A and B are shown apart, each in its own frame.
Chain A
């Protein structure tokens, strides 16, 4: 070499420069937004969220479960779920109501009836669906609503770490417990359930996903070997159930018969017609492992996670939400995971259909990083919805695992046990005591605004979402029939939050409330595609999505300013197509099949 000193100096300079690359990238990609007042937020982002639970007469604080004392050391971690929210118009008065679960033995769930005046009143007790956490029956983890007998009123499926319960809605005047008649099992440690008509017979079927194995009673443990046997490849969780609706108030468990067989630790599930086949596919997000995608041919399911790309990298799946984020008539799937700076960066997944793939050959690619919705802390529930009515689906994500001592973290102990052998990680007695320490607590929430050009920008602080509770479930609903999506958030050991939305009035909207006749009456699985200004957006009525949540069955479309709406096409689960020519913005369309 002619000039070794120069060469070495150049090399050293490059080397030092490389050490600064992470800081530069951090600076360039930082998305910090400051808090704005309502007027400024409206002007800049087109909407503002104001927390109004107290004003609305809701003062609900979730209570966490308390299990067998053998788990005392890690109780905050084991008892970290159970706060849920589902939206239903249980009395068919045209105003959405809210059902929330509680999780301490003896605590009561609440059904907040919409009073039409901005307030709600808890009527769970008088309706007979409050006292559902009695000792010996387990405690609530979530609820989903669906009209399983097609009588026009939404029935309640309550899933628990314990005995699942089915309540028949008696014309909006009360509920009758029909668990035994329906043939549901005595005990499932379930964290997810959804209503969907998998075989298109016009009757809603029921999927329930187990988390802990169903032979574990967390209040009376015979052994502390109840934990996952691997942090990323665990297969010792609860089994999965698919209850086929026989139409006479009874259900038959058919999971094995139709190809669903998994003991992964399911935390969230949702069904949607991902491929346009007319049959709802089932997506399951699993903790301690890969996600599963069961493609439905109308009779059987085929687990295709690996082939489609969504079931490859094991993470800590906690959410399944669908959204046509690019206004292309195709759904993307959002799965939340864990990201903790300096310890564990799984990143959330946004599974977008790969260009040029469809049908049985559909493949997904994770564009969470490219679109800016990857890092959300210890993420839980998320939902897509057009929060500012600009015509693009935004994403609301809540997060935070265990908020205890702000200054002491459990992450170190968590991480080194999680990496150990299955005999160590699988036994709760081997886990160091949490001793009042936090584990990804006090996290800031994310409200990602879709700019319509392939980027999401976090505006949570700017639009008024400043809480740092341990968020679990998110549900989107137009609570007061104003043509805007409000946000309801259930927090573990925290208050139920109602974020009332104010949107720029220039931004237009349209809503659809569907009722099936040949199809299931809840119209779960019905798909509406709105065509306007040369673009289209598709949405589907869901029997449960997000984490322990169910949005309103009503479909809400933002349209932006001065929209020219060409048509809305409804595809019912029966296969029937219905078209509305030039629907008028600013209206709720109530449609029968």
Chain B
């Protein structure tokens, strides 16, 4: 198993070759964890958004512990924990369940997916996306993710969108977020036209907090996106397209499932195309 490839698995891995870049005076790898923590704290202090501190802490602790153990066993060194922290906190915010066990299970599935579901040294799913999608699919009687955790109000949305945009811009992932958002709006209007629903109803989901985590932390994950900028935009567009199809079939968790389906498919395709290019280059040489 490739040690280098396992080390991290989300926005937190956005360090430049030759040493980590600085953002706001902070190692850029740690900006996303700091940002998501700020979201959590502001949401909690202003709205009391967490159903339970214990559950969120449980998810974070489980993710970090799993990463430590698996990293030590399979990579042979202590891993950077920023990725596991983001996965844990995403699980803690996005999963809603009165029970405790789903938080443990979801965090475990998220982290373990990085070590189990691999191809050519790369993990295929964004860890949080895998854990949450699997849990929503397998434990719908106990788990939900209807997420309005910091209200349906305008100001928090603008602040998070602005800060999130700055961060993904600085880590050179803004084109992914922008492509997805533009595509979502276009498809929302198409859905409104097709279903006869008010366009506001079709646009509504992206104005909610669930999407703020989704567009800044899930679809931008460098370890599970393709390599070229054009390819990344195409994948973001495809996620929005598949999401539209799922939404037309009234799938409540369409965004999670769309990324679950499109992400690994695009990654495998990308790896296959690269391998073919390498073979062609070798043949030409």
Contact = CB atoms under 8 A, between A and B. Distances in A.
Contact of A420 (B108, B136, B142, B204): B204
Interface residues of B, number: 59
Interface in B125-155: 134-136, 138-144, 146-149, 151-154
A424 B207 CA distance: 9
Nearest to B50: A313
Contact of A345 (B144, B152, B157): B144
A4 B48 CA distance: 45
A416 B201 contact: yes
Interface string A99-138: 0000000000000000000000000000000000000000
A430 B202 CA distance: 9
A357 B102 CA distance: 30
B154 A423 contact: yes
Interface range, A side = 35 or more
A421 B116 contact: no
Interface in B170-214: 195-198, 200-205, 207-210
B31 interface: no
Contacts of B147: 419
A418 interface: yes
A590 interface: no
A471 interface: no
A427 B112 contact: no
Interface string B55-86: 00000000000000010011010000000000
A420 B205 contact: yes
B98 interface: yes
Given A14-B112, A15-B109, A19-B138, A425 B153 contact: no
A368 B97 CA distance: 13
Contacts, number: 173
A267 B26 CA distance: 49
A312 B97 CA distance: 15
B51 interface: yes
Contact of B1 (A8, A23, A231, A432): A8
Contacts of B157: 421
Contact of A233 (B47, B134, B195): B47
B151 A422 contact: yes
Q: Which of the listed residues B116, B143, B147, B204 has the most CB atoms from chain A within 10 Å of its own CB?
A: B204
Interface in A17-54: 18-19, 21-23, 25-26
A39 B58 CA distance: 48
Given A413-B201, A419-B208, A11 B70 contact: yes
Nearest to A425: B152
Contacts of B74: 1, 4, 7-8, 11
A561 B150 CA distance: 52
B203 A420 contact: yes
B96 interface: yes
Nearest to B253: A342
Interface string B84-106: 00000000000011110110010
A430 B141 contact: no
A177 interface: no
Contacts of A4: 1, 74
Contacts of A420: 152, 200-201, 203-205, 207-208
A347 interface: yes
A412 B252 contact: yes
A250 interface: no
Contacts of B165: none
A75 interface: no
Contact of B200 (A11, A412, A413, A430): A430
B37 interface: no
B109 A419 contact: no
B200 A427 contact: yes
Contacts of B98: 345-347, 366, 368-369, 374
A232 interface: yes
A257 B154 CA distance: 33
Interface in A403-433: 409, 411-413, 415-425, 427, 429-433
Contact of A369 (B99, B105, B247): B99
B115 interface: yes
B265 interface: no
B37 to A, nearest CB: 20
7 contacts: A23-B138, A313-B51, A313-B52, A346-B96, A416-B202, A430-B201, A431-B201
Given A233-B151, A430-B198, 7 more contacts: A306-B48, A343-B146, A417-B204, A419-B148, A421-B152, A424-B200, A431-B201
Interface of A: 1, 4, 7-8, 11-12, 14-15, 18-19, 21-23, 25-26, 229-233, 290, 306, 312-314, 340-347, 366, 368-369, 374-375, 409, 411-413, 415-425, 427, 429-433
Top 9 nearest A-B pairs by Cβ distance? Answer: A420-B204, A342-B140, A347-B98, A22-B139, A419-B208, A412-B250, A421-B207, A430-B200, A230-B152
